[in-house]
Every structure is written in C-alpha cells, then in structure tokens.
Amino acid sequence: SSPNNAWVTLATNDSYSLGALVLAHSLKTVGTVYKLAILITPGVTAPMKQQIEAVFDEVKVVDVLDSKDQTHLALMCRPELGVTFTKLHCWTFTNYDKCVFLDADTLVLQNCDELFQREELSAAPDPGWPDCFNSGVFVYKPSQDTFGQLLEFARTRGSFDGGDQGLLNMFFKEWSNTDISKHLSFTYNVVWSSTYSYLPALKQFGQNMKIVHFISSSKPWLQSFNTETRLVTSKHGGSGLQELLQLWWDLFCRHVHPGLS
C-alpha cells in the first residue's frame, strides 16, 4: 500500500474554493494515489463546503476568530497576516507522514506523486527573486512542533512581504544555499507572470510542465468565459497562457459547475 501522504490546499472564501475544486479534479485526473486535504475558514459558504466535502478526503475548518487559540493571539499583533496564518495550519495535518501544499490557483497537468520522496522544505525558485522559493508549491512534514515554531516566528519576526512566502523563506532560510535536492524543478511550479516570461525556454521545456501556478491577475476564475463557445478569453493572453486557462475551464465545466447549479 502507498504511504499515508496528502496533497493540501487552502481556501478562505468561495472564489478560491473554485480554484481548490478544479485543483482537486486535476489531481484525480492525473491519477494520484495520495489523499486530498484542504483547510477552509468560515468565509466559505455552506453549499460550497458541501461541494468541497464531496471531492476532498479531509476538510479541516480553521476558525481564526477562536480567541482561545494561539493563532488568534498571534494574529492580534499582526492582523495583516491573516491568510498567512491560515496557510501555516497545514503543518497541523499530523495524521499524514508527508504533504505537498498547493495554492488554490495551481493546476496539476501531469502526475507528480514523486514529489513525496522529497524532504521538508522542498520548493521551486520564485521567478521574481530566484534565491527565494515560491510558496505556492512545497513539500513538508506535518508537525505540531514546527507549527508552534512558525507561529512564534511570525509573531516575533513577521514577514518581509506581509505574506506567507516572506515568512517561510526566512524560517527555512537554508533553502537558498544548502541542499540542492530541496530545489524543485521550475516545472513543478510554473509561475505564470503576465509581465515576464522566457519564451525560448517555454518553447524548449514547456511540454515538461507539471504544475502551473496562475498568480495575481491571471487567476482563471477571473477571466471572461463564453458559455456558448465554452472558450475562455484572457485579457493577458499570449504565449500559451490561453491554452492553460482553457484546461482549467474544461475541468471546471466538466466536474465543478454541474455541482454548483
């Protein structure tokens, strides 16, 4: 039997939940043998939660307003780190041996179950500053102890970008110069930026892409979609983005939309 591993994502509201649902179906489509788990907050509505429960093996509701928990205390000092704190809860899935966290705006194109052979913390470089890893895809080992240390770090040191990426890069700062096996190939987190791309590399290596990450304005659910032709039209267009957005919408139409109506 396969090890007790899980893919983990996060959604704090219904729009990110759409991303999480499509992501889950993309993982099923590529035939992963591992579990699907998700962190949600009370910002996700009841009907959406039902859809999520039908697809994910485990749904953990994190209530950031619970005044008795450690998280809330930390939050009071730094309210701007709300979503960051929520993502850190992924370390509390201690019922799994190892996990891979995926942002809700990622899409899995090919099976990548081999990621679970990597150790904490493995991630791919961020194209904006490649000495930092992008925190949209990372391999980690759930641990209450690490969770506690991360919260303490957040409370005392904060995050240099106000988000989880700055925090995690400071906490796991040896990532940049210690162990190359913790550097995932960019193909595991192809951060799609509308402002920059290395076109010849895309042409050469594009077919190796395993996970695409639709950051900022390229979020699939924010594009316009023609319900008659079933085609998406991106304002940001160009260089293969359109095709990837279409893949997202095809999964959405086939597996997610029927459950919503």
Interface with ligand UPG (CB under 6 A): 9-13, 16, 83, 103-105, 134-136, 161, 163-165, 215-216
**Which three-class secondary structure state does DSSP give residue 8?**
strand
Question: C-beta of 192: minimal distance to ligand UPG in Å?
Answer: 10
CA-to-CA distance for 188 and 109, rounded, in angstroms? 10
Q: Which is nearer to ligand UPG, 96 or 138 (CB)?
A: 138
Question: C-beta of 61: minimal distance to ligand UPG in Å?
Answer: 13
Question: C-beta of 116: minimal distance to ligand UPG in Å?
Answer: 19
Q: Which is nearer to ligand UPG, 104 or 209 (CB)?
A: 104
**CA-based R_g, the chain, Å:** 18
Q: Which is nearer to ligand UPG, 1 or 194 (CB)?
A: 194
Residue number with the smallest Cβ distance to ligand UPG: 163
**Which three-class secondary structure state does DSSP give residue 74?**
helix
Helices assigned H by DSSP within the chain: 14-29, 46-55, 70-77, 82-88, 144-157, 164-171, 199-205, 241-251, 257-260
Q: Which is nearer to ligand UPG, 167 or 232 (CB)?
A: 167
Long-range (24+ apart) CB contacts under 8 A made by 62-69 are: 62/86, 62/89
Question: C-beta of 8: minimal distance to ligand UPG in Å?
Answer: 10
Question: Which token pair is 24?
Answer: 């889950």
Q: Which is nearer to ligand UPG, 96 or 214 (CB)?
A: 214
Question: C-beta of 228: minimal distance to ligand UPG in Å?
Answer: 29
**What does the angle CA 141 – CA 20 – CA 63 come to, to the nearest 5 degrees?**
70
CA-to-CA distance for 150 and 128, rounded, in angstroms? 24
